[in-house]
Amino acid sequence: MNTIALKDREKILEKVSHLVATKHFNPSLNGVNWPDLVESHRAQILQADTIEKLETEIHKLVSELKTSHTGFFHRSLRKIPARYAINATFQPCSVNGTARWMFEDVHEGGAAYAAGFRPGDILLAIDGKEILPPDQPVFRMGGPSTLAVEKLSGERPSIPMGVPIPKSKKHPVNQPRPVAWSRPEPDVGLLKITMFPGVVGIDLAHDIDRAIAQLRDCSRLIVDLR
């Protein structure tokens, strides 16, 4: 592991604190007191004497902002949470008395969806290493991984999955298909918005128009904005 000096940890924390306070979407609108949040995490962050630990602790801090696609990543892209790397989220659950991670959202266009993972699958291990809560499933960008899972059918396959390299190391996020639609029932339409663009939303608006055109004869429409 690569160590990092205390003065550098302090400098990084102050920079993150300043950037969120001056550049980020207003945290108070989500009921978050950013200065208090920083102070509550300060001790753990300053005690993190390796890059890996520092990355983990600061990511925990910014995750409490309650905004999607907000994270803290080292330039090596060694430990990227599943939401950003494979476009899937996990929910802790109990399986036969053991805490496990369950696939919650699996977005179309992402690596997890392409590999065949679906909501309800139970994650058992990544590359042969058992992953249990509270340890988060993380992935290295641009490399293969093999996930052992338990399917709803009871099968326990080991499934290979490639994790794409993001277009930008400064914004290491693999983007899923932004708009997806389906018909869970013949007369029921499901419109799912997986993410919103930052500035210009013309393409997203066109995608939504196309989705509505495909679902216009449905009597009921479910809109999922998660």
Integer-rounded Cα radius of gyration of the chain: 19
Give the pair of three-digit tokens for residue 208: 């939504």
pLDDT, position 198 = 58
Q: For residues 40 and 90, is the Cβ–Cβ distance under 8 A?
A: no
pLDDT, position 188 = 97
**Residue holding tokens 């550049």?**
23
pLDDT, position 68 = 67
Give the pair of three-digit tokens for residue 28: 């108070």
Walk along the chain (226 residues) and give the pLDDT tens digit of each residue: 578 899 999 999 999 999 999 988 777 777 889 999 999 999 999 999 988 889 889 988 988 887 766 778 766 656 788 888 899 999 999 999 999 999 999 999 999 999 999 999 999 999 999 999 988 898 888 889 999 999 999 999 999 999 988 776 666 778 888 899 999 999 999 999 987 765 567 888 899 999 999 999 999 999 998 6
Instruction: Give me the helix-helix angle, 51-63 and 6-23, nearest 10°.
Output: 20
3 state SS of 203: helix
Length of the chain: 226
pTM of the model: 0.72
**Residue holding tokens 């207003």?**
26
pLDDT, position 83 = 86
